[in-house]
A = this chain, B = another copy of it.
Amino acid sequence: MAQMVSFREIIDDYEIIFFDAYGVIKTYNGLVPGIDRTFEWLEQHNKEYFIITNDASRSPEQLAASYHRRGLHAIESNRIISSGMLAKEFLDLKVNDGIVAYLGTPDSAHYIESSGLHTLPVAELDEINMDGVNALVLLDDEGFDWFSDLNKAVNLLRRRTIPAIVANPDGAYPITGSEVGIAIGALAAMIEHIVGKKFIHFGKPDSQIFMFAFEQLLVRRLVSKRQVLMVGDTLTTDILGGNKFGLDTVLVLTGNTLAKDAETRITSTGIVPTYICESAVL
């Protein structure tokens, strides 16, 4: 079973830290108190970090700005890797022209803009432009009318044989201490099931987002996976994905996994972090 240790004890053993965002750096309540000290320490000790998030609702610049507004100034946008960036990479490499229809906010769409492609909210699809659509991207659960646009998305995929990309595999996300919201990953799974087609899913626990961050590192310096630590609050995304990619992992207890449940959940899922820490605060 994983050892319960302090984050301070283990962080020195690694050169690069991958952090999940929600439940590790911030919660529905704002920043995790004291988390700014962690990023100061990393800077002082010349360690690198990436924030690896399944949040495709806003661009890295917008996500960084939201940390700055809350007083966490250390976080730079080029350190944020989101599942939306993988959707954009896919469009760049695989879809050369035409329209990309999307479900999400205008902010999330701005994100996937790509040379040669025109983005269009599903709400604006009609009989004429539908035949020019070459991909559908599911980005966020907000910014559209669920009844009319989910139905339109189903019928688009029945009519056109095009890739459907899901930029956030999560099924739900916390809104308050006790309530959750249905996330785009759950809506995507429903549509995938109705139309019977295989969607392309990016985001933890899938390896491709870890690889995307790792490649950014390799461009600048030679690192081994042994030097990287993944810090997350969710066993089924952060820890499962980090383990599979070959990283050491820390489960923190400031988010999805409560201290009283950690042991039971590890045993019942069989997903074992290398360490368990109270939080990622130093």
Q: A93-B226, A155-B179, A187-B190 are in contact. Are A163 and B270 (CB under 8 A)?
A: yes
A105 within 8 A of B: no
Scan A253-271; emit 1 where CB is below 8 A from any B CB, else 0.
Answer: 0000000000000111111
Complex: A146 Cα to B162 Cα, angstroms? 26
A157 within 8 A of B: yes
When distances are taken between beta carbons in the complex, the residues of chain B under 8 Å from A182 are 150-151, 154, 190, 194
When distances are taken between beta carbons in the complex, the residues of chain B under 8 Å from A161 are 1, 266-267, 270, 272
Count class of interface residues, chain A: 35 or more
Q: Which residue in chain B gives the minimum CB-CB distance to A201? A: B244
When distances are taken between beta carbons in the complex, the residues of chain B under 8 Å from A236 are 198
A280 within 8 A of B: no
Whether the Cβ atoms of A268 and B190 lie closer than 8 Å is no
Whether the Cβ atoms of A197 and B270 lie closer than 8 Å is yes
Scan A168-208; emit 1 where CB is below 8 A from any B CB, else 0.
Answer: 00011000001111100011011001111111100000111
When distances are taken between beta carbons in the complex, the residues of chain B under 8 Å from A146 are 146-147, 150
Instruction: Give the Cβ gap from A181 to chain B, nearest Cβ, in Å.
Output: 6
Q: Apart from A189-B193, A196-B268, A198-B271, what are 10 other A-B pairs with CB-CB below 8 Å?
A: A155-B179, A161-B272, A162-B270, A163-B243, A186-B193, A195-B270, A196-B269, A198-B236, A208-B244, A218-B218
Q: Which 6 A-B pairs have the closest CB atoms?
A: A197-B270, A146-B146, A93-B246, A207-B208, A190-B190, A146-B147
